[in-house]
Amino acid sequence: MKNNEFCNIELFSSHLFWDLNKSKLDFEKSKAQIIFQVVEYGMMSDWLLVQKIYPKEEIKEVVLNLRTLDKVTLSYLSHFLQIDKTQFRCYTSSQSAQSFWNS
């Protein structure tokens, strides 16, 4: 973790963690969940906050192993991290899954 000063769940958008007991959220133990919620459903201010809390390498480690990401988020993260899309777990798993609605 980079900066404990920003480790306050109340600084994030209220819709991100509506289903959690916010007082018990641990920024180290729940790192993957926090980063996923922010990259998938957060606003730019949430994304900037995550970058203040976690080093780029920790964010990279988490997002590379996420099972799902929408195409826009995947493209953004690929560019931000300077990593080819094919390196993401969600990319390889989406290639093997049949899609009936999105061609």
pTM above threshold 0.95: no
C-alpha–C-alpha distance, residues 48 and 55, integer Å: 12
- How confident is the model over 26-47, as pLDDT tens digits? 899 999 999 999 999 999 999 9
pLDDT at residue number 64: 95
- Supply 4's token pair: 């404990």
pLDDT at residue number 9: 86
Average pLDDT, the chain: 87
pLDDT at residue number 23: 78
Q: Which sign does the torsion angle of CA 61, 62, 67, 70 carry?
A: negative
Specify the long-range contacts of residues 40-48, CB closer than 8 Å, at least 24 apart: 40/68, 40/69, 40/70, 40/73, 41/15, 41/16, 42/12, 42/13, 42/16, 43/13, 45/13, 46/12, 46/13, 46/16
